[in-house]
Structure 1
Amino acid sequence: MTIEAHLATLEKKHGVLEEELHEALNSPSCEDELISELKRRKLRIKDEIERLRSSTH
């Protein structure tokens, strides 16, 4: 997999997590643990995206 393809995959996953997080935040019955986990996963993906981008420049 090329770096560009990997970046595209990560960006797609990041977007999906963003949507899940938005839905979880708007759901009064959603547990704080789930919200925290979504935020952690989203941050890990964002960090990986930034690392890949900086390694290609």
Structure 2
Amino acid sequence: MNVEARMESLRQMHHDLEEAIKEENRRPMPDSAVLSDLKRQKLRIKDEIARLDAEH
């Protein structure tokens, strides 16, 4: 997979995680452990996008 395709894939995953976070927050009693996990995953992907962008 080339860099552009990898970055697009990461951006899509980042977007999907953002939607999952919003959905969890809409629940009457959001699960803080789930939210923490989703946010951690989102941050990891954001860091990977930034790293690839800096290298490219």
The TM-score, its normalising length taken from structure 1, stands at 0.93
**Between the two proteins, what is the percent identity of the paired residues?**
43
Paired residues for 1:4-43 under 5 Å: 4-43=4-43
2:49 aligns with: 49
Deviation at 1:29, TM superposition (A): 2.5
Aligned Cα root-mean-square deviation (Å): 0.7
1:30 shift after superposition: 2.3
> How far is 1:27 from its partner?
1.0
Mark the runs of 5 or more structure 2 residues left unpaired by the alignment. Answer: none
Please give the TM-score of this superposition, normalised by the length of structure 2: 0.95
Q: Size of the alignment, in residue pairs? A: 56
Residue 32 of structure 1 and its aligned partner are, at CA, apart by 0.4
Following TM superposition, the consecutive aligned residue runs of length 4 or more in structure 1 with deviations greater than 3 angstroms are none
What is the DSSP-based 3-state SS (H/G/I as helix, E as strand, rest coil) of the residue aligned with 1:49? helix
